[in-house]
Amino acid sequence: MAIRLVHTAPIVLAAAMLATPGARAADPEVRRTIDRGLEWLASQQSRLGHWSAANNRYPTAMTAMAGLTLLCEGSTTTQGRYAGNIRRAVDYLAGRSRANGLIGEPDQDDRYTYGHGFSMLFLSQVLGEEEDALRRQNLVDVLSRAVIFTGRAQTDAGGWGYVSAQDGQGFDEGSTTITQVQGLRGCRNAGIPVPAEIIEKAIKYIQDCSLDGGAGGVQYNSKGGGGRPAISAAAIACLFNAGQYDSQYVPKLQEYCRKNLASISNRGFGHWHYAHYYYAQVQYREGGKTWEDYRDRVFDRIVSEANPDGSWSQGYIGPVYTTAINLTILQLETAALPIYQR
């Protein structure tokens, strides 16, 4: 059985039209920070259309993440300040689509499932606004093959690893699993058939990795590793993307994340930007005072840490990664992308 949901509303609308009343993105200092960041990010795109992490690593993942950030601004492949950047990113990623459906370069990337998942998410958001019939059909073909690859790459436990189940001898890991599910949700929303059993296995994987019903967080992988705040935040976003809003695991996972992430400090765990990329999505969906209190604190921190050139350089993956994540968080209230909407 395949799940097919045709998204009838425009995939990307002008951010100003959809901004949440009272949104912090309208604050002059936040707006200047976003604008400088977007200009810096756009300037880092190569002539081939891609972005890279430190030491020129992970071009597929960085290109998809940077492209998503530019989409959040409200630009599309045909309209807006960053239309040219987005179009070149789409062409670069579509050109990396292999016969087996993988989007990426397995010979050059030892963690290619990240790039594959983020590429599905980015290209699926583009698909709904693509006006050229040939380009649109190419995206449908790329994403349809990508879904098939994702299904075949899933482990018996229901998760995904840094590489396919076959290449990784069945190894799975929580963060890559979340990336695949969010990418699949984007494809499904764009009208690409997604087999229901893939999502069902992934949901069970998250449940099986949840310690004490979620009260202890989500562990590193199906073999153990202890509860991880970053993966736990991503797991909630993943469950929401899978339509599991009323899952019995969600309240306990939310409480675990509140204990470990709500202070927005770095204490007790790594991968701050990854954790808050997903935790911000969770808090935004919750809305109200919960979102506003968290938003004000995390926005203040992000704005204060920006470099004069508009980038952010915290973390070891590189400034493109950190800048893309921070700008996505700062632009959540524009509601320009369905995958991030309430």
Over residues 190-229, the pLDDT tens digits come to 999 999 999 999 999 999 999 999 999 999 999 999 999 9
Query: What contacts 196, CB < 8 A, 6 or more positions away?
Result: 1, 2, 3
What pLDDT does residue 336 have? 81
What pLDDT does residue 6 have? 38
Which helix (DSSP H) or strand (DSSP E) does residue 189 occupy? Answer: helix 174-189
What pLDDT does residue 151 have? 98
Kindly tell me the burial class for residue 54, based on how many C-beta atoms sit within 10 Å of its own C-beta (0-12, 13-18, 19 or more): middle
Domain span at residue 73? 2-340
| The total number of structural domains that make up the chain | 1
What pLDDT does residue 10 have? 38
337 in helix, strand or coil?
A: coil
Amino acid at 149: F
Low-confidence ranges of the chain (pLDDT < 50): 1-19
Check: CB of residue 340 under 8 Å from CB of residue 281.
yes
Q: Which residues pair with 194 in a beta bridge?
A: 3
CATH number of 149's domain: 1.50.10.20
Check: CB of residue 71 under 8 Å from CB of residue 338.
no
Kindly tell me the burial class for residue 5, based on how many C-beta atoms sit within 10 Å of its own C-beta (0-12, 13-18, 19 or more): middle
What pLDDT does residue 16 have? 42
What pLDDT does residue 22 have? 58
| pTM exceeds cut of 0.85 | yes
Q: Closest by alpha carbon to 154, among 101, 96, 201, 224?
A: 201
Angle between helices 196-209 and 174-189 (to 10 degrees): 150
Q: Closest by alpha carbon to 301, among 321, 279, 276, 335?
A: 276
What pLDDT does residue 245 have? 87
DSSP string, 27-75: SHHHHHHHHHHHHHHHHT--TTS----GGG--HHHHHHHHHHHHHHTT-
